[in-house]
A and B are shown apart, each in its own frame.
Chain A
Amino acid sequence: MPHTTQDNPESWLDNYGDMLYRFALVRVRSEATAEDLVQDTLLAGIQAFDKFSGQSSVRTWLTGILKHKIIDHFRKNRYDSQSLNDSDLGEDLLNSQFDQQGKWQIDLVEWATPDCSLNEQQFWHVFQQCLDRLPKKMADLLLLRTLGDVSSEDCCQVLGYETTNQLWVTLSRTRMKLRQCLDVKWFETK
Chain B
Amino acid sequence: MSASPPLAPPSARPRAAVPAALIVGAASIATLVVAWQVVAMAGIVPARVLPTPLDVALRFATLAVETFSGSTLEGHALASLTRWVIGAACAIALGIPLGVALAWLPPLRPVIAPAFELLRFIPPFAWVPIAVLWFGASTTTQALIVFIAAFPACVINAHLGVSLVDPILPRAAAMLGAGGVATLRRVVLPVAAPSIFTGVRIAFSNGWMALVGAELVVGKQGLGFLISQGQINDSVTTIMVGMIAIGALGALIDFGFQRVERAWLPWLAFGAKRAS
Please indicate whether A and B come from the same complex rather than being unrelated chains: no
Q: Which residues of A contact B (CB under 8 A)?
A: none
Q: Which residues of B contact A (CB under 8 A)?
A: none
